[in-house]
Structure formats: structure tokens, C-alpha cells
Structure 1
Amino acid sequence: MASSSQALPHQNPDFSSYRPLYRSMLAKDWEEALRFFNQYPLAIRTPLNQYLETALHVAAKAGNAFFMEKLVALLWDHELGPRDVHGLTPLHIAARQGNIEVARILVRRNSNLLYLYDNKGFFPIHYAVTSSRGSKDVFLYFFGVTRDDAYPLPNPYAGPTGVSIVVYLIGQKFYDLALQLVEKYPYLACYKAIDNNMSALDALVRIHRSIINKHSLNFWQSLIYHYVSKAESTTSTPIFYLITSLLQCLVRESIVNKMVLHHQSVKLLKWLCDQLKTINDTQVMSLTKQTIFDATILDIWQVILNIAEAYPMSIYFWDSKKQNILHVAVMNRSENVFNLVCGTNVLRTNLPQYEDIICNSVLHLAGKLAPPHKLNLVSGAALQMQRELQWFKEVKKITPSYFWSYKNKYGKTPSMVFTEEHRELKEAGEKWIKDTANSCTISAALIVTVVFAAAITVPGGNSGENGLPIFSDHNAFTVFAISNAASLFTSATSLLVFLSILTSRYAEEDFLFTLPNRIIIGLFTLFLSIIFMMIAFSATVYLVFGHNRRGVLITVAVFACLPVTSFVHLQFPLLVALVSSTYGRGIFYQRGFPQLPY
């Protein structure tokens, strides 16, 4: 061990004398650093900066295993845990940096370093979870060497301290490791973390919304989810990873990873909720009340279902505004939670009976404007207004009739609330529809003009003898005549429909069906008129210039597809959205939702 007889170069707040030591450590020049330690032996033990970091801290921060090995050899075992201004030891820093090599050197000399906590009460294993490398290997190393029976040393896995590890694992999306930890220490499901007062259930809901809605998956995503679930539940771990690796080769890796994370998070959720059955009502309320409402706001119905299965009365919790989960679901437009409640007879009957603190019924809350992030899921102010009306209509179905005209503390009925809250959206929807109708009216009028003129001046002209069209005996002329007439009829229909839209009254209820239906008819007939017009034009070009040459016909047909393709690309998505929103199955009462345990 080095001698400590010589004094430090400067024993004052000015740490500039340690700059040569810093430079040598950053340059990995051990010989220069050793000469400094020989000249000033206390420098190896005392703080080198205003943050009270010692040479061990600097070596751990730099991730220099060689320097750490040399420094450790010059110190006693009890000298390996100096603390900086935040209470961090060199092992804390090695864990935070994700440097397993440096951590091994320190732990090998003094394993008690694993049980020293910082000013916040965090052990090195806490920092290993959130290491800068973001690797599971770092946590697994510390998990393997950190014991729970090192009495009289503190237990990092005990109570709120242990829950913090679980919360951090969930934050890193290491759901499989979080499940492994809570399975080993089941009591962790019944505490909250020391730093943020968050339980493991809270973390699943608030930190990452990896619990997705299976009902929103398409065919391929559902198929992947099925095989991922089946592989993990019926095979060993190596085979499970082999199957997921194979799926990653066949489809996008991000989709497979999302399905794997979802399946792991659902397993963790089920396990945590099962532990609620082992504790008393007071503890359950403390752990789940906020989680229930957070899950409702975020529309994660699986969380509500699993908590309700463990503690059925949780479904009747109310918040500080005396709002239950149905109130919160409607106000936040959480359709999955709404469907779950409506699919349960007891809840569909009981929950709408309650008012909040200002006498708002659930229908009053349906009359409020949806949160911006929910409104923006639908494109266009008119479709947003339609979705809001659909919500109001669906909620009205489950609301007792005496609430339909019931006034809250401000003397407003649900209909009055809806009108006031949606005044600006209604105006924006009216402007959007009028702008759309004006644009389409111009297009339809141009097509009517063109095809009407083409019907009078037929290709090739008329015969001077009998007045009949010259090309009347050609098949292409028949195609021209039929398509030109169809284009005229459809464009005229489109023009009249859009003119009717411009003269509509734009009442609130018109946005639900009348106006969207007219836009659908107008766009569809406009689309048909463009197609028929292109067919008529192609037939005309072929008759006049083709002279039975197939090359002309093919060339004209290819170019005729350009305006049709442009319309499909630019306007067809709007038509699909309108049809889906107006005639589709909608977001309410979707099939496949399991009922709550009532």
C-alpha cells in the first residue's frame, strides 16, 4: 500500500493542482499517474474536484478497467467505497456507465460495495437497470451478485427500494426481467417505489403503453401475436427465441418486437394483479385507484379488466371530482374502456346513474369537446364533428332518460353543453365541407361542359348524306357514346349533389349522416365521371388517329390512367374515411371484448 506521510499539494477548494493527474488518467498513462501518487500519496484517497470525486470515481466514470485494477491494488478493501457529493460510490458509477469489467474489479475486492446506497437510497443495482449501455447484461450481472441475505447489510430488494428496481426495469421495457424479479420477491407487487411513489402497476400504465389493443391489430399482426404467445407458453426459452427470430426474418422486426413486448407486459400485468388477491382492501385501494383512472384515460382496458378480476369493487372507484371510470372514459373518448363497461350488464345499468361533483351526468361529459389528441385521430373538422355526435348518441343510449334534460350546477343540459363546447368545431366543419364542395363543384361543372360538347361534336363528324356519325359502325364509337353519356350523367349528379351541400342548413345533427352521405355520393359520382370521361377520350383518339393500330390504343390507355390515379391518390382516402365513418362498424360495441366479472 502507498505511504500517506506526504501532504497534498493544495488543501483548499482550488483543485487545479490535480489537473496533471486528470490528464494522465484520461490519457491512460499509468506511469505518470503513479509518479503523482508517489509524490502526493493522499491524492489517491481524497476528493479531486468540487463534486468530491476521488481517483476511483474518475476511473469508474472513464470506464478504465486497467486504471481501476492498479488503483484498487494500492488501497485497502474498506477504502473502495468513497462517496461523492451525491453519495455515489465508484461501483454506483460503474453500474451507471454499464461497465461490467470495472464493476467486477471492485466487487471482487469488496462485495459489500453492492449494499452501499446513495443519498436517495439507491444501490448500485438500481443504476445498473438504467445504465448508459441500456443492456440487460449489466443488470443480470448485478442481479447475480447482489444477494438478499447479506444481513446485517441492507437488502436492496426489500420493500419500496426493491419496487424501484421493478419500476426501472419496466421503464427500460425489460418486462421479462421485471417478471423474474417479482416472481422471486412477490411482496414487491404490494409496495410503491421510494423515489416517485409509483407501484409496478403504475409503471406499466404510465411509463410505457406497451399493452396494446389486440382488437386494433390487422390480420398479420394478429397472426404474429398468436404465434408469439403460443411459442412462449408452450416451448422452452431457447425455442421461443428461435421462433421469434424466424418471424423477424419474415416480417418487419419492429412489429415482432412490439408483439413480444406486449405479450411480456401482459404476463407481468396478470401476475401483479394476481398478487392483489393476497392483500387487504386498504392496500389494494392504495395501489390501484390511480392506476385504474390512468388506464381509463389511456384506454388500456386490459389493466382495468385484470384489476377488476382481482378486486371487483375497484370498478366503482371515483376520483376527486366524484367521477367513475365511465365518466372518465367518456370524457377522454376511451372507446375500449367504454365498450368494456357497456358489455357488462351490471355496470351499463349502474355507472350511468352517478353524477360528478358539479352534477354532470355522463351525458354532460359526452357533450364536452374531446381532447385534442383524440380529435386528431380523425382527419377533417367535419369528420371530427361526426365522431363527436356519434359519441353523444352512443352515450345517450345508456343514460337514463331523466338525465337527457337534467341540468348541472351551471344550469346547462347535456345538449346545451354539446352546443357550447362544439361551436368552433361546427364552424370549422362547415367551412371544410363548403371548401370541399366548392372545389368539387368546379371540377364537376368542367366535366359536364366537356362531355356535353363531345356529345354534340362526335369524333370524325357526321355524314353529309344521312347526318349519321361517320364512325357509327365501329365498336370504339359505341364505347365512346356509352362512356360519354355515363360521364355526363354522373358529373351532372355530382354537380347537383355538391350544390345541395352548399345550400344545406348545417345543423349539428346534419354532420352525423346527411352531410357525410352527400359528400360520399358527390365524390363517388365525380370519380365515376372522370373514369368515363377518360374512356370516352381514349375511344375518340383511337377512332380519329388509331386506324386500328394497337400501339395507339395502349399508349392512350396508359396516359388516361394518370388523372384517375391522381384522383385515387388524392381524394380516394377521404372517400374511404367518409364511408368507414358513416357506414362502417364504428368504434362502439366491437366484438371480442371479454366482460368484467359481474
Structure 2
Amino acid sequence: MTTYMDLVLFKAAAEGDSGPFENDQTRLDQLLTPDENTILHVYLGNQSRKLKATDFVDKILEMCPPLLLQANKKGEIPLHLAARYGHSNVVSVLIDRARALPTDPESGETEAKKMLRMTNEEGDTALHEAARHSRGHVVEILTKEDPEFSYSANVHGETPLYIAASIGWYWTAERGKVVNEILGNCISVDYGGPNGRTALHAASMKGDDVFIDLLVSETARKLLEKEKTLTKTTDENGWSPLHYAAYFSTWLNVSAVKVLLEYDASAAYIAETEKKRTALHIAVIQGREYVMKEIVSGCPTCCDLVDNRGWNALHYAVASKDTKVFKKCLEIPELARLGTKKDDNGNTPFHLIAALANKNHHWRHVLFHETGGQIYGLNKRKLSVNDIYLGEFGEIQKEILESLEDIGSGPIGRSLFVLKKKNNDEKIKEEEEALSKARESHLVVAALIATVTFAAAFTLPGGYKSDRGTALLAKKAAFIVFVISDAISMVLSISAVVIHFLISLIHGFELVKRKDISEDAAMTLFGIATLLTMIGTGTMIIAFITGTYAVLESFLGLAISTCLIGLSFFLLVGLVFHFIRKDLKDNIKF
């Protein structure tokens, strides 16, 4: 008959106090929580630090041996919890206790191995739990105890090795140890994961960090040393580990790509099931310059492969709608020669660029400066590059827009991509609104200060000498401080106004591009507005300088000091332009 633990007994179990249980007349295997956790479950789940002493576990199992294999509602035995929380000493004690039990006469399986192979309701063994929580020492104990067993996948399709190789949001040396222990101790290893992926797929998905890159690439190397065919194993989408490495790698972490190509350069030939994209196509559409170079240098002939529409890597560079990506591709000779290659509709990459160049000056610049006088021929509509540029051909533009949808398919799934993009867009919108309100407040304050200081410079305290128009109090120390402070305030406030103006300029231009308004007209208006504003600001500063000099001319030192402070405005603006020159160069051309 089940008896629920009262508060006193629960606290005693959580703290590892065996005293109250020695005097309790209830059978300990019937003393449970509503989730059917036993005393050992409660104890192991409430220890925040790794346990050195195992006295409580020993005493409880002496009093009630059946607790060793008793599961809670989730199907977890004490070994699951000990593995999850990294209590390696307790794991050893539990295994020793199980070894002491008689072997099953029918199966010939020892109780220790039976315990290690027990699964919870999600199909996880203790090794799954230890791998998921990066408990390297526990994994070492478990795999050495039962090296012959091939730990199969849980209900989610995850094997312990797949879990260990999955980077998630982080990677540690301890997680690397988990992989090493499984590969080193297990005789038969299951590499499988969900959706047809393997542990090598999981290892190829990593974060943007050099340390992580080194650990993960080493993991990939160890996996391939054990099983070289993993490079050719594809998931349900037809994605190989190299596809994933190309998708997730950045300039900081290309080691996994190098390792995959080192073991099997032919992996670059593998095309996905539906759209027939290779890892090179993925690297280009993602703008991974360093990954492109690694793939091309490791397998140059893969550049000739095309997708299900006949698009090569250079077509994908255009599909990215990023001129920088396209120019980087042209710097790679093997990719640059693809400029004359046609897709299934007879379009070369430059036919697609011509369609974009109608409304985008960046692509117009590429079209005029990168063609090099080459003849690209006619497409299947009998149209040349020049015909498309001069005419209106929405079909080709539609093809390009549809190609961008490819980014949402593949490893992360289209629906997740759209959801992520929506969430990001909402977040960006909220941040933009908050920033806009803050900028409005700052701008009002800065403009007010500029107005007051400008007026104060010509309404000087004490007035002027009627015969010369110079300040009466110019020799007073307090007046000198007033004039210099006023000049500094004027320069700083006007500088703040100019900075806010430049922020609005860049932000406004980005909005124009998002809304697909004619960029030529926008650039012309922005250019004129910028020029007029900057000239007007500069002349206001000059007016301030010359006006204050006129009233302080008799006191040359003070006049020169005030003028120098005023002229520092141009230095400050120059520094601002220096820091934002890249954004201005990329977005605004006068």
C-alpha cells in the first residue's frame, strides 16, 4: 500500500538524513511522492553539488534493496538521476549493488547490465541522460561497464552519441570527453539521430566561436576515424554533414568544413533530394566567403554542379541580392568563370543581374563594371543581358525572388525560418520605435541648447560699448568663463544635432530599400538634403565664430580661444564621418 511522504520525511530525504527512516514502520519502497519518487529519487534530485560521500545511498539500499531498480512515474530509476546530475560516486555504488544481485537465469543478463539498459518513458537510458548533461566521468563508468551494448535511439530518434555531438547553444571540453568515451569504450556504436541525421551532422552545426570550432572539428575528426562513411550519409532532406557545415560556419569556424573535405572531398558533389543544391550552393546563398574558398580549393570540379533549375554557384550569388557576396565569388577564379554559364532558361548570372539593375544602383554598378566586355549570349526568350536591362521582364525578377525562399528550407525547416524571421522583425520594429522616441527627445534637447547658446552669444551680459560695439565685461573672469562655456555648449549641441541627422539619413535610406522605392530618386533627394543641411550647419557655426570674434576683437586671446572652440565642431563632425564612413559608402552615393 502506497504511503505519501510527509514534509518531515521529504526534508530528511532531500538532506540525506537516514535517521527518520530507520524508525519508520512503513516499507521504504512504498513511501512515495505523488510522482512516485522514492527516497533515493528525492535525495539525488536535491543535491546541487557532486556527491563525494555515498553513506545515505548505502544505508537506504541496505534497509530496502528493491529501491535500486524502482522507477517513478516517468520510468526513471535512481541511476537515471545519478547520471543526470553527475553523481559519479553514486553511479559506481548503484552498479556495485546491481552486480551483487543474481544473474537472470533465462537471459543470462546480469542485473548490472539490465539496470544500465533500462529506459524511461522517453526511451532514455542512463547514458542518454549523462550525455545530454555532459557528465563525462559518468559516461566513462557506464560505457566501460557495458561496452558491448549498442545504445539505440530514444523516442525522439536520439542516440547517446548524437546527443553528445549536438552542440545546442554551447560546447565544453566535458562534452568533448563524452564523445571520446563513447567512441573509445563502446564496441558497437550507433551514430543515428532524428530525421535521418547522424552524429556527424550534429557536430557540423556549431556556434560562432573559435574555441567551439576547435573542439567540434576535433569531434568530427574522431567520428570519421571511427566511421568514414558518415560524410556520405544524408538526412531526410538529402543534406550531408558538409551541407550543415556550409550553412552554419562563419569566418571564425571553418575547421569542420576542412575536416570533412580532408576525409572525403567527394562530399562536395552530394546534392540534396529536392532542389539538388550542393554544399557550395548553400555556402554562397549564406554569404560564407571562407567556406566557399575551402570547398572550391578542396574540390574545384564541384563548381560545375547546378541545382534543379540549372543554377550554378554564381547564380546563387545573385540570388542572395548581396553585391558583396557576388564580388567575393568573382575573386575566386573557379567561380568567376561561371559568369557565362546558362541555367535551364538560358539565363547567365548576368542576365539575372540585369533584371535587378533596373531598380538597384548597386547591381547596376556590378553590371557595368564586371561584365568585362564578354558576350553572354541570348537566353531562351532570345533576350540578351542588355535587352533585359533596358526592358521590363518581371518573370526573371520573380525567379530571383522565389530563389530567396530557398534559404528557408533545408535543415531548420521553412516554417521555423519564417517564424524566426517574423519574431526578429517584430523585435527589430519594437527596438526601432524605442530608439526613435529616445532620439526625438535627444534632438529636442540638443536643438534647444543650440538655440539658447547661439542667442546668448549675441545678448552678452553687461551689454556693449556704444562707441565700439565690444563687450563691457570682457576683462572679467566670470565673463570669460561664460563665453568659453557658451562656445563649448554651442559646438557640442550642434554636433549632437548633426549626429542625429546622420542616423536619420542612414535609417531612412534603409527604409527606402525595404519598401523598394526607386533608389535613384531616393539617393538624389537624400544627397541634396544632406548637402544643404551640412552647409547650413557649417555656416551657422561660422556665423557664431565671426559674431563672437567681432564683439571680443579688443581682447584677442579670448576671441581666438572662442574661435578655436567653434572650429572644433568641424573636427568632431570629421571624426563622426570617419566612424560611419562604411555605412555611408554602402548606402548613399552622391
CA RMSD of aligned residues (A): 5.4
Residue 81 of structure 2 aligns with which residue?
58
Once the two structures are superposed, the pairs formed by residues 235-384 of structure 1 within 5 Å of their partners are 262=252, 265-277=253-265, 284-285=270-271, 289-343=277-331, 351-357=339-345, 362-363=349-350, 365-366=352-353
* C-alpha contact 1:331 1:368 (8 A) present in aligned 2: no
C-alpha deviation, 1:329, in angstroms = 0.9
In 2, Cα distance between the equivalents of 1:418 and 1:27? Answer: 65
Residue 177 of structure 2 aligns with which residue?
141
Residue 203 of structure 1 aligns with which residue?
244
Residue 6 of structure 2 aligns with which residue?
none
* C-alpha contact 1:162 1:193 (8 A) present in aligned 2: no
Tell me whether 1:547 sits opposite 2:555 in the alignment: yes
In percent, how many aligned pairs have the same letter?
14
Residue 203 of structure 2 aligns with which residue?
166
* C-alpha contact 1:289 1:314 (8 A) present in aligned 2: no
Once the two structures are superposed, the pairs formed by residues 66-105 of structure 1 within 5 Å of their partners are 66-76=89-99, 77-78=112-113, 79-105=115-141
Note the alpha carbon deviations across 1:396-443, whole angstroms, 9 max, x for none: 6667375799669xx987642589989xxxxxxxxxxxxxxxx9xxx9
* C-alpha contact 2:470 2:550 (8 A) present in aligned 1: no
* C-alpha contact 2:217 2:259 (8 A) present in aligned 1: no
Change in CA separation of 1:406 and 1:170 when aligned onto 2, cut-off 3 Å:
same
In 2, Cα distance between the equivalents of 1:27 and 1:575? Answer: 57
Change in CA separation of 1:571 and 1:313 when aligned onto 2, cut-off 3 Å:
closer
Change in CA separation of 1:273 and 1:60 when aligned onto 2, cut-off 3 Å:
closer
Change in CA separation of 1:54 and 1:42 when aligned onto 2, cut-off 3 Å:
same
Structure-1-length-normalised TM-score: 0.55
Residue 18 of structure 1 aligns with which residue?
37
Name the stretch that deviates more: 314-323 or 130-139. Answer: 130-139
In 2, Cα distance between the equivalents of 1:169 and 1:567? Answer: 42
2:392 to 416, 421, 432: 416
Structure 1's unaligned 5+ residue stretches are 1-5, 212-261, 371-383, 423-438, 464-468, 472-506, 585-598
C-alpha deviation, 1:522, in angstroms = 4.2
* C-alpha contact 1:369 1:421 (8 A) present in aligned 2: yes
In 1, Cα distance between the equivalents of 2:145 and 2:185? Answer: 19
Structure 2's unaligned 5+ residue stretches are 1-26, 48-52, 100-111, 399-442, 459-463, 472-516
User: What SS does the aligned partner of 1:75 have?
Assistant: helix
C-alpha deviation, 1:523, in angstroms = 5.5
Note the alpha carbon deviations across 1:94-127, whole angstroms, 9 max, x for none: 22212234334434544446x4233366543433
In 2, Cα distance between the equivalents of 1:15 and 1:576? Answer: 63
* C-alpha contact 1:363 1:403 (8 A) present in aligned 2: no
User: What SS does the aligned partner of 2:310 have?
Assistant: coil
Amino acid at match of 1:95: A
Change in CA separation of 1:180 and 1:319 when aligned onto 2, cut-off 3 Å:
closer
C-alpha deviation, 1:269, in angstroms = 2.9
Q: Number of paired residues?
A: 430
C-alpha deviation, 1:535, in angstroms = 3.2
In 2, Cα distance between the equivalents of 1:20 and 1:308? Answer: 60
Name the stretch that deviates more: 120-129 or 399-408. Answer: 399-408
C-alpha deviation, 1:75, in angstroms = 0.8
Highest relative contact order (Cα 8 Å, sep 6+), 1 or 2? Answer: 1
Change in CA separation of 1:348 and 1:188 when aligned onto 2, cut-off 3 Å:
same
Note the alpha carbon deviations across 1:196-222, whole angstroms, 9 max, x for none: 864332222222x322xxxxxxxxxxx
In 2, Cα distance between the equivalents of 1:166 and 1:85? Answer: 27
In 1, Cα distance between the equivalents of 2:377 and 2:169? Answer: 59
Amino acid at match of 1:547: F
Change in CA separation of 1:301 and 1:552 when aligned onto 2, cut-off 3 Å:
closer
Structure-2-length-normalised TM-score: 0.56
User: What SS does the aligned partner of 1:80 have?
Assistant: helix
In 2, Cα distance between the equivalents of 1:574 and 1:301? Answer: 24
Note the alpha carbon deviations across 1:126-168, whole angstroms, 9 max, x for none: 33344889554324433443446965x3465999745246335
1:118 to 153, 172, 175: 153
C-alpha deviation, 1:316, in angstroms = 2.6
